[in-house]
Chains A and B, each alone.
Chain A
């Protein structure tokens, strides 16, 4: 509109300057009239709209980013459901607490994950992630993050997954495998370190990536830090990453957690990690990831690790293999606990995934007797809504 008006006025000015006879004056007059009529018409339309509507109370654009993830699986396993539910890992866990994923032979609806992310104001953002199980509502995470602390510090408050280790903070659906590595399962349980607390992060202004994190948590993890009569868990980690050439990126880290077990023993957990990612092209890469965890409780020292290689062939196919072992155990407990997994995942589109995972697990005891468990599962996963991008 503005353009038309400007155009018209330029035209009329030129015309006026060019000649000043009466016919021209008339034309200018009629142009002005048309302009005025046009302006009135626009005003009238505006008024008509204003008579009947208002956007004053519309808050739609302030809604949080909402995402919904659905996860289900079909499982074939050579252990019956009632035996599987009570599995134990000698020297590590007496009885599995809850099994949130792939629990039953046959069909499982594992969870619907509802996520919300929003800016609270200039100073905070909020995130909430709810896990809806068939008969349970669980707050997986709910926390505030600061945006404007001095010295580039950022602080997290609420219930959240700790940044300990490589994968503790990564949700199940964003991991490369359908189930946890053995050492995590044995030392932290399937849910990992996920507690109420506060965390502080700082990224150093260096040429290479260097991040320092510290967290204080309640400590409700039954396997390693169960004493919850008072807050007892303190976590620290240091992560560093750099590039080796244009196509290779490295991420290393060291983590430490100190707390008390349910029966008030001192419990310390150490973790070391290394991830190497080699980019083949935009959609294809090789990813080698390994982690070692070492646990030191008053008298018992235990350790375990996993190493995995993932080949992403293109935007649709991904292949992976993982080996996990618990190689250090308490006295008189087995130290040959092992688990092998292989996975093929197919993603018809960025936001959906079907994964076929085969596992042979030589670490578990069922009803007090050690037995090799074989399992094949097919998992489906869809992500809808405004789901954020994944980190490295």
Chain B
């Protein structure tokens, strides 16, 4: 047994020449790979097919955190339900809060939907504001900037590489953002409903208005009373689109769709949430397309 441990340690040390980065969600992995290139090894802790609020705290995640030089999280309390006990157990002081190997990207963007008053009577709310900011392509650029700054801080000798990677990444994203904005201009003023307030940042970017959510309160399962209310609202406002995520139950959305004729669009919340959205570019293209379609 001891031999195995020693061999594994030696082996992992050899790999450690690269910066070992753990990120909580897939989109952060994509950005980090784009900035870090061959100089980093990226491990994504969660599956993009699952609810980002509730990731199973598997023991294997502790092992991944234990070996990380840098941990990049979404923040805005999106990870509060699963990450803290794993971090505590991994006890890797490099990546603990307040140390240089910990990065919360929510600081790079402006959070919207900050609740005026905070109480669990309103369901599972996020006191700092809506944490699903990765849905807006315009937010990915400052996030990439922050990540490139962090990588440069940890490895000053490679900072010029990180910088130039950032420059090409941001101009690519800017071009895509502009073309999507142009392409979906007609989308402005469109009204939709969604399951959870998951797509607000993308809706804001394209001027779409969300009139209701299928869940009565964040984290509370749909009730028949609330569903009836949503159906009436759809009829009154001639809403044609219901935005549904991949991980919640889809029965309620289908039921509402049958009653109203509104179309259910499955919108990915992260890169890889649906098979077609396998890169950041495709992800943002599909998000825009399925919201505005």
Q: Which residues of A contact B (CB under 8 A)?
A: 122, 145, 147-148, 152-154, 201, 203-211, 239-243, 246, 249-251, 277, 279, 281-283, 285, 314-316, 349-351, 384, 388-392
- Contact partner of B89 (CB less than 8 A), chosen from A211, A249, A283, is A211
* Residues in A whose Cβ lies below 8 Å from that of B66: 152, 203-205
A153 to B93 alpha-carbon distance, docked (Å): 10
- 24 residue pairs A–B, Cβ–Cβ below 8 Å: A145-B88, A147-B96, A152-B91, A152-B93, A201-B91, A203-B90, A205-B8, A205-B9, A205-B67, A208-B60, A208-B63, A210-B5, A243-B58, A246-B47, A249-B56, A249-B60, A277-B58, A279-B56, A281-B50, A285-B56, A314-B249, A315-B221, A351-B120, A388-B84
- Contact partner of B219 (CB less than 8 A), chosen from A204, A210, A349, is A349
The number of inter-chain residue pairs (CB within 8 angstroms) is: 111
B12 interface residue per 8 A CB criterion: yes
B113 interface residue per 8 A CB criterion: no
A118 to B124 alpha-carbon distance, docked (Å): 23
* Residues in A whose Cβ lies below 8 Å from that of B47: 246
A263 CB to closest chain B CB (Å) equals: 36
A350 to B90 alpha-carbon distance, docked (Å): 25
A281 to B56 alpha-carbon distance, docked (Å): 10
Q: Which residues of B contact A (CB under 8 A)?
A: 5, 8-9, 12, 47, 50-51, 54, 56-60, 62-63, 66-67, 80-86, 88-93, 96, 98, 120, 123-124, 219-221, 247-249
- Contact partner of B5 (CB less than 8 A), chosen from A122, A204, A282, is A204
Most buried by B among A205, A246, A390: A205
Contact A282 B247 (CB under 8 A): yes
A131 CB to closest chain B CB (Å) equals: 21
* Residues in B whose Cβ lies below 8 Å from that of A246: 47
Contact B59 A249 (CB under 8 A): yes
* Residues in B whose Cβ lies below 8 Å from that of A211: 62, 89
Contact A209 B96 (CB under 8 A): no
* Residues in A whose Cβ lies below 8 Å from that of B221: 314-316
A123 CB to closest chain B CB (Å) equals: 10
Closest to A252 in B: B59
* Residues in B whose Cβ lies below 8 Å from that of A154: 91
A390 to B89 alpha-carbon distance, docked (Å): 12
